[in-house]
């Protein structure tokens, strides 16, 4: 049966009563399951340990989402060893068969999409639309990477040479360590893991300590799809306790990581060191975030631009590496734009994420809340002035008001460091050219955008604005698999371009085969 062309999973329209009711039903179903205990799963063995990792609902910190066994260093090493043993079998499985597992998992996830979304609503505080988009993206990754593997498994174009039969084939690397983030708890985890295994690798999956239940949901889904034991090995625990063991293990062949700059740099450095018995140079696929800007020109629709800035800055409480944390405004329209922006931000509702009436939910945990509030204080201490927000929002959860701060100095802390919360710095530029200079003045290079009707300015920005994902007259979040291959420059990571045609290449190696033809 021919494979249909890839098509992005549609988002759910919750204005339709049937869809709304289905989501409410899923929330009730998942609510009943909250608080259960979950094991490690290494090969065929499920392991319960004394040490526990507690996942809580950031909207209601007293509510336990799940209880997970913490792996120790011995179990981490065992997971790599089991994955290494399984790799000898898995690498020989027909790529078409490996792709079938992903297609089946996509079908199962599509059937239960609201259940997956509900888990993220409870576990990481995603609102209905944000959770739904996360699940849709996860389905997209399964569908897209399955098709990509079929493309790479097909006969590759190669120059003919008289007297020889030549071919090029792609083979897997080996054991991978998958360390996904909590902010796209399902989508990025699914993408990183499914790409690795469909390419013929085996993996140790260590989900974020803030989203272990979401990781378990995916792992269990792959078991339901029939994936053999040991292809994915599921362990939970802090990066500090088992992360270095996994990365440094001599049988680890590659590491896929999305998270903070500090952790990413540490992984990059550790993976570069050759360990006793190691036979290869490890590959690292790292995405570390950004300090993303939207430029507002004086030749644009200010209302539409302000709406795009609000969605980009405050969607999922600003907890996206692609989120707009800086708006750079040409001074000619600065005051007018600030007025429009403030009017829109003031209308944002904040509260429990399972309540569909709230545009913003909580930030992910107490430490994050405290860090974000300290950045706000720092921004004001360094001479910024508050336009709106600035503190905690009402409720028992980790709720922070959507905050906009006018920054006098483009090099101020709040204009340079990634905050990962609902805080937007606005900066005045004398003209479009200076705005571009300011946009490029950070160590990052992930996403960015411009709002202008001037074609010459657009063309210049396309060349000059140094980011991996550049957007024109639209929001700067919401990259779609296959449509917007995602990954940035500089300290934003290794530009691995998740959801693009190059991604699987990073998880395989090419083998050229030449055979002399007898006369």
- Residues with catalytic function: 287, 321
* Other residues' Cβ atoms within 10 Å of the Cβ of residue 96: 12
C-alpha 424/C-alpha 325 separation (Å) is 5
For helices 113-123 and 128-153, the axis angle rounded to 10 degrees is 120
- Distance from CA of residue 467 to its chain's centroid? 17
Quick one: which of 227, 224, 234, 11 has its CA closest to 113? 11
* Other residues' Cβ atoms within 10 Å of the Cβ of residue 414: 25
Angle value at C-alpha 502, between 497 and 508, nearest 5 degrees = 115
Q: Which helix (H) or strand (E) segment is 160 a member of?
A: none
Question: How is residue 166 written in tokens?
Answer: 């030549």
Question: How is residue 118 written in tokens?
Answer: 């509900």
Which residues neighbour 310 within 8 Å (Cβ) at sequence distance 6 or greater? 341, 344, 345, 348
For helices 95-111 and 187-198, the axis angle rounded to 10 degrees is 160
Q: What size, in residues, is the chain? A: 519
Q: Scan for tokens 């700067």, then name that residue.
A: 476
- DSSP letters spanning 358-423: -SB---SSHHHHHHHHHHHHHHHHTT-EEEE--SBPSSSS--B--EEEEES-TTSHHHHS---SSE
* Other residues' Cβ atoms within 10 Å of the Cβ of residue 403: 27
Question: How is residue 356 written in tokens?
Answer: 């569909």
- Burial of residue 492 (number of CB atoms within 10 Å: 0-12, 13-18, 19+): buried
Q: Which helix (H) or strand (E) segment is 99 a member of?
A: helix 95-111
C-alpha 155/C-alpha 169 separation (Å) is 8
């Amino acid at each position: 049966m021919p494979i249909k062309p890839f098509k992005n999973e549609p988002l759910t329209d919750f204005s339709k009563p049937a869809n709304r009711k289905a989501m409410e039903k899923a929330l009730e179903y998942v609510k009943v399951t909250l608080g259960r205990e979950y094991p490690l799963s290494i090969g065929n063995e499920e392991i319960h340990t004394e040490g526990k990792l507690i996942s809580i609902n950031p909207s209601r910190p007293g509510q336990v989402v799940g209880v997970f066994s913490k792996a120790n260093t011995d179990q981490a090493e065992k997971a790599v060893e089991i994955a290494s043993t399984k790799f000898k079998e898995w690498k020989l499985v027909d790529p078409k068969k490996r792709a079938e597992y992903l297609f089946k998992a996509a079908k199962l996830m599509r059937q239960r999409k609201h259940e997956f979304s509900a888990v993220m609503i409870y576990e990481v505080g995603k609102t209905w639309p944000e959770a739904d988009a996360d699940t849709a993206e996860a389905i997209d990754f399964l569908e897209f990477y399955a098709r990509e593997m079929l493309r790479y498994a097909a006969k590759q174009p190669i120059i003919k040479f008289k007297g020889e039969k030549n071919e090029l084939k792609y083979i897997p690397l080996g054991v991978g360590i998958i360390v996904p983030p909590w902010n796209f708890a399902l989508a990025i985890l699914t993408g990183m893991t499914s790409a690795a295994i469909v390419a013929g690798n085996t993996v140790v999956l260590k989900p974020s300590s803030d989203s272990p239940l979401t990781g378990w949901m995916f792992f269990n889904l792959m078991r339901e799809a029939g994936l053999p034991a040991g292809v994915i090995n599921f362990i939970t625990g802090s990066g500090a306790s088992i992360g270095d063991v996994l990365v440094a293990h001599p049988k680890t062949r590659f590491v896929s990581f999305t998270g903070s700059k500090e952790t990413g740099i540490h992984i990059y450095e550790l993976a570069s060191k050759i360990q006793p018995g190691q036979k290869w140079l490890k590959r690292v696929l790292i995405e570390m975030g950004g300090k993303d800007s939207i430029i507002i020109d004086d030749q644009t629709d200010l209302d539409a631009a302000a709406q795009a800035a609000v969605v980009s800055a405050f969607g999922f409480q600003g907890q996206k590496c692609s989120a707009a944390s800086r708006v750079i405004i040409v001074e000619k329209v600065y005051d007018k734009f600030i007025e429009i922006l403030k009017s829109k931000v003031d209308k944002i509702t904040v509260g429990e994420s399972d309540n569909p009436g709230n545009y913003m939910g909580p930030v992910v945990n107490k430490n994050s809340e405290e860090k974000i509030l300290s950045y706000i204080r720092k921004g004001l201490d360094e001479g910024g002035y508050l336009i709106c927000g600035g503190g905690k929002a009402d409720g028992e959860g980790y709720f922070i008001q959507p905050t906009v701060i006018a920054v006098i100095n483009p090099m101020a802390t709040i204009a340079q460091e990634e905050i990962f919360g609902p805080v937007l710095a606005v900066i005045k530029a004398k003209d479009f050219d200076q705005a571009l200079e300011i946009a490029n003045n950070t160590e990052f290079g992930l996403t960015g955008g411009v709002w202008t009707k001037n074609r010459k300015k657009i063309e210049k920005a396309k060349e000059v604005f140094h980011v991996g994902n550049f957007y024109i007259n639209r929001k700067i979040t919401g990259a779609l698999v296959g449509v917007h291959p995602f990954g940035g420059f500089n300290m934003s990571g290794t530009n691995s371009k998740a959801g693009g045609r190059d991604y699987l290449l990073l998880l395989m190696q090419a083998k050229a085969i030449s055979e002399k033809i007898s006369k």
